[in-house]
Chain A
Amino acid sequence: MAAVSDNSQAQHPAFYAVVVMLIIMAVGPIALMFVNSFKLDVDIISGTSGLLFLPTIQNYETALCDVLPYELDHLDFCALKFGGAFINSLIIALVSTFFTLVIGCMAAYALVRFRFMGRDTASGTTLMVRMVPPAVLLVPVFGLWNNEFCISKTSWLGEIIRDNFGGRGDVCLAGTHSGIILIYIAMNLPFVIWILQSFIVQVPRQLEEAARMDGAGPFQVFFKVVLPLIKPGLAAAAIFTFRIAWNEYLLASALSDRDTKTVPILIVNNMSEFNVEWGVIMATGMLLAIPPIIFTLFASRQIITGMTAGAVKG
């Protein structure tokens, strides 16, 4: 095999130098943020070189002041409410990932097994949706979620909600977690359906028929036979969906209110102030970056599968 013979010949050290340099360039800015998140603003601004500083977790404490169980000495007023935003971000990202996967899985299974419409339709839709920028959805989603997708306050359900949660006007999707979750599900569904199809195609039909012989209904076949077999595909789809829901800023900023703000919104708001508190901002940025970093380190193979599937199989 060619690969074996290639392996035996040693490569020029210059190539390793290039690889190392690329790694440094890719990771450098993130590492810089990591280091700075442990510095006090004085240290960041004085620019005293690199690693000679006393690391402190004060920035993280300031950022999370509203959820910490103890009082902070350096802070007399908790202005940044990042803790609550993290909880919002987590709820929105997890719930929308879960529903996207369940709904996407079922749709992909139907498209593959019952052979209607075919794969072309799904991949065409995926591409079409991929083309739509969130900025284009901003105006209609803002209008619809605020004015049309509402339950009248005089209706039966509307009254129940108003009585329990308060508020004045009609009950609308805007400003709720569900409103943001709905648009994220819609944005991610085509991609999830499309990537899961390629995994479901590989599940041998005989397995399903055997299960059906043993008396399993279509739903049982799906949940007990098919789902366990496409776990790698589910992992890739889950990572991509979670990432988009976790990172997205624009639509969330249009749809959230005071209580449902996500972390990216707070970061952008704090960046536009005149005096940026670099240390605290970097600490929040770091916290926001941790889940994607973990995924990358532990599931890079699935991520690359998902990414290359987009172009190479097209």
Chain B
Amino acid sequence: MSATTFNRLTPYLFLAPALVIMVLALLYPLGYMVYGSFRDWDPSQALGESEFTGLANYVTLWNDPNFRESVAVTLKFAVSVVSIEMLIGVGLALLLDRNLRGMSVLRTLFILPMMIAPVVVGLVWRYMYHPTVGIFNNTLKSIGLEPVDWLGQHALLSVIIADIWQWTPFIFILSLAALQSLPRSALEAARIDGATGWQQIIHIKLPLMMPVLIVTGLLRLIDAFKVLEVILVMTEGGPGLSTEILALRISRTATEFRELGVAAAMSNYLLILLMLLTLLMLFYNRWQEYRAAKAKRAIEEAV
């Protein structure tokens, strides 16, 4: 092999391992899942031996009240978690965007809940919510209030609170980064024109942060659909179906009910939902770039 052909092949050599793994362990499985979702498939058979049933799995799911309940729970969880986290996270970022000593400590420690295993997060919160041992009920009792049945009657709320604890820092750190990269000149100009703190926030900071905020919110929304371990450890989807989000239902359908075809169809529904969200985000990014380019051209023409 001559030196030139070797050089021409180099990029492919460098890329090959990554490509092979991605195709083998990601693309192929996804295709396999789509194929399997049209079949009556249980774990004891190879996929080829199973019977082709067309859209039966999808139709069954569509008419299954439990599945619908699970979709509703997932949407309720994702939407409330993301909106509350955005409110608190952005609010804190606006409040604390100043030179405070200890901010770097706060930022470091704030990452902790996101870094430790979701399983451990679930474990800690399950302990804290525990009806007799837990710290919440003990505190309530010691100040003379009625204990609350956290993981029973208010299971969904409790799960949402735990997620807020874990992920608000994500929004906070991203919006703080966005805030600190805002153009100083715009803020300076507003201050000179006598804008109050609130006016600065509403008319200057928030609009300028908006692109980052929307992307952050969408990223968080996508992640909220992926939450599984925290809820599994805290409630196992119960009581009843009150906290059984889609991801949890997929894993239960596959492992407990042993209906791989149905689980695959369910995965496909979830994937389509997330795909729509991702496309929304990509289009938003494109649109932003387009608008920025247009504004730049307008400025250049004006000059």
Interface positions of A (Cβ within 8 A of B): 2-3, 6-7, 11, 15-16, 18-20, 22-23, 25-27, 29-30, 32-33, 36, 44-45, 47, 103-104, 106-107, 109-111, 113-114, 116, 124-125, 127-144, 146-148, 182-183, 185-187, 189-190, 193, 218, 222, 243, 246-247, 249-250, 254, 264, 267-268, 271-272, 278, 281-282, 285, 288-289, 292-293, 295-297, 300, 303-304, 307-308, 310-312, 314
Contacts and interface: CB of A to CB of B under 8 A. Distances in A.
Contacts of A304: 107, 111, 173, 177
A281 B119 CA distance: 11
B10 A140 contact: no
Instruction: Determine the interface band of chain B, counting residues with CB < 8 A from chain A.
Output: 35 or more
A134 B226 contact: yes
A308 to B, nearest CB: 5
A215 B152 CA distance: 70
Contacts, number: 291
Contacts of B2: none
Contacts of B111: 296, 300, 303-304, 307
B116 A292 contact: yes
B22 interface: yes
List of 7 A-B pairs having minimum Cβ-Cβ separation, nearest first: A186-B25, A110-B14, A135-B247, A107-B18, A114-B11, A140-B29, A247-B117
Nearest to A297: B108
A219 to B, nearest CB: 8
Contact of B133 (A2, A45, A147, A281): A45
Interface of B: 7, 10-12, 14-15, 17-19, 21-22, 24-26, 28-30, 32-33, 36, 41, 43, 46-47, 92, 95-96, 98-103, 105-113, 115-120, 122-128, 132-133, 135, 138, 165, 169-170, 173-174, 177-178, 181, 184, 188, 212, 215-216, 219, 222, 225-226, 228-229, 232-233, 236, 246-248, 250-251, 254-255, 260, 263-264, 267, 270-271, 274-275, 277-278, 281-282, 285
A229 to B, nearest CB: 17
Contacts of A311: 174, 212, 215-216, 219
A143 to B, nearest CB: 6
A267 B11 contact: no
Interface centre among A22, A116, A147, by most B CB within 10 Å? A22
A148 B214 CA distance: 41
Contacts of A314: 215, 285
B256 to A, nearest CB: 12
Given A19-B100, A103-B17, A282 B173 contact: no
Contact of B33 (A15, A140, A271, A295): A140
Given A29-B128, A140-B32, A107 B15 contact: yes
A239 to B, nearest CB: 8
20 contacts: A11-B100, A23-B106, A47-B138, A104-B18, A110-B12, A125-B22, A135-B250, A137-B26, A138-B251, A138-B263, A193-B18, A247-B119, A249-B119, A271-B233, A288-B116, A292-B116, A293-B116, A300-B111, A311-B174, A314-B285
A136 B270 contact: yes
A173 to B, nearest CB: 10
A247 B117 CA distance: 5
